[in-house]
Amino acid sequence: MLRIGVDLGGTKIEVVCLGEQGEELFRKRIPTPRRYESTLDGIVSLVEEVETKLGQQASVGVGIPGILSPQTGLVKNANATWINGRSLDVDLGKRLNREVRVANDANCFAVSEAVDGAGEGKGLVFGVIIGTGCGGGLAVGGKVHQGCNGLSGEWGHNPLPWLKVDEFNTTDCFCGHKDCIETFISGTGFMRDYHQVHKGKMVTSGGEIMELVKAGNASAMLAFDCYMDRLARSLAHIINVLDPDIIVLGGGMSNVDIIYSRLPELLPQYVLGGECMTPVVKNRFGSSSGVRGAAWLWPS
C-alpha cells in the first residue's frame, strides 16, 4: 500500500509518498496558491503526478494549519485563511474519487514520530512544535487522537502554568486571550524576553540568542534560564494531565540541544509528586515529520 501525505502550509504545499515500510518514494513541493480552488488544483496535480510516476493509486492524507470542526465538517482556525469554512476533505475526495483524511499539522507531526520516529513503540505520544508559534498534537497507538472538539493537543492556548507576579497579564495572544503558553515559549516569545533585558543589537532568531548564551552573554543567559523554566512549567502541566509515554519536540527551538539535558533537572519541580521519568526527546524526521504524518493518517 502506497501512502501519499500532503502538508498544506501558508507558503508551500509539499507532497511525499511512502512505501510499505515508510520508505520515501517521492517528494515535491510547490508554492501555495492563496485561493481555495487553486489550492485544490495544486493538491490534485501533485497526487496525480505521484501516481503517474509510481504507476499505482495511493491513499491520501492532508495536514493543515487548522482543524476540521467535528460539528460542521468545515475547516476552522487555519492561518491559511482561504481554506477556513470549507469542506476540504469532501472537496478533495470528490476531485480524487476516494476518501481523503485531513488532520491538524501538529497531530500529523505526533503521528509521524509515533509510527516510525522518535516515539516509535510508545503508546501515548505528545508532539510539541515550538517555532514562530507553539503547537501540539496527540497520538495514541500511532493514530491521531482528535477529541470531540477537534482540539486535542492545543496546549499553547492555555495560560502559562504557575504564573508569577511579573508574568500575569503581560502578553496578548492572537487567540484573543492573555498570557497563553505560546506567547512565552515560542521562538517569538524567547526573542521578546531577550530584547526586554538587552537593549543593544536586535536579534532575529532564537539561534542567535543561543550563540550568545554559548559566548557567556549575561542577557542571553538570563533570557534562556527564564525560557527553560517556562518550558518546564508548560510541559509539567501536560505530564500532570496526560502522563504521556514520551514527549517529542519539533520546530526551530527543538534544535537547541541543551534543552534535553536541562529539562530532567527542572521538570520534577513542577510535576506532581516531585518525580518525573517522562522522556523529552528531539524529533527524528525534522521538518519532514508533518508531511510523513499526513501519509500515516492511513495506517496499515
Q: Is the pLDDT confidence value at 204 over 90?
A: no
- Counting other chains too, the contacts that 200-205 makes at CB distance below 8 Å and 24 or more residues apart are 205/252
pTM of the model: 0.93
Q: Is the pLDDT confidence value at 164 over 80?
A: yes
Average pLDDT over residues 164-172: 94
pLDDT band at 196 (very low <50, low <70, confident <90, very high): confident
Specify the CATH number for 121-283; select among 3.30.420.40, 1.20.140.10, 1.10.3080.10, 3.90.10.10: 3.30.420.40
- The helix (H) or strand (E) run that includes residue 17 is strand 12-18
In percent, the amount of the chain with pLDDT more than 70 equals: 99
Which of these, 32, 2, 33, lies nearest to 17 by C-alpha position?
2
- The helix (H) or strand (E) run that includes residue 290 is helix 289-295
Predicted pLDDT at 87:
97
Predicted pLDDT at 179:
96
Q: How far apart are CA 104 and CA 106, in angstroms?
A: 6
Q: Is the pLDDT confidence value at 139 over 70?
A: yes
Report the amino acid identity of residue 101.
R
Which residue ranges make up each domain of the chain? Answer: 3-110+287-295, 121-283
In percent, the amount of the chain with pLDDT more than 90 equals: 82
* Mean confidence (pLDDT) of the chain: 94
Please state the CATH superfamily assignment of the domain spanning residues 3-110+287-295 in this structure: ATPase, nucleotide binding domain (3.30.420.40)
Predicted pLDDT at 300:
67
State the DSSP string of 207-240: HHHHHHHHTT-HHHHHHHHHHHHHHHHHHHHHHH
Average pLDDT over residues 188-198: 88
- Contact between 80 and 38 (Cβ < 8 Å): no
Q: How far apart are CA 80 and CA 17, in angstroms?
A: 23
- For 46-58, the pLDDT digits (tens) are 999 999 999 999 9
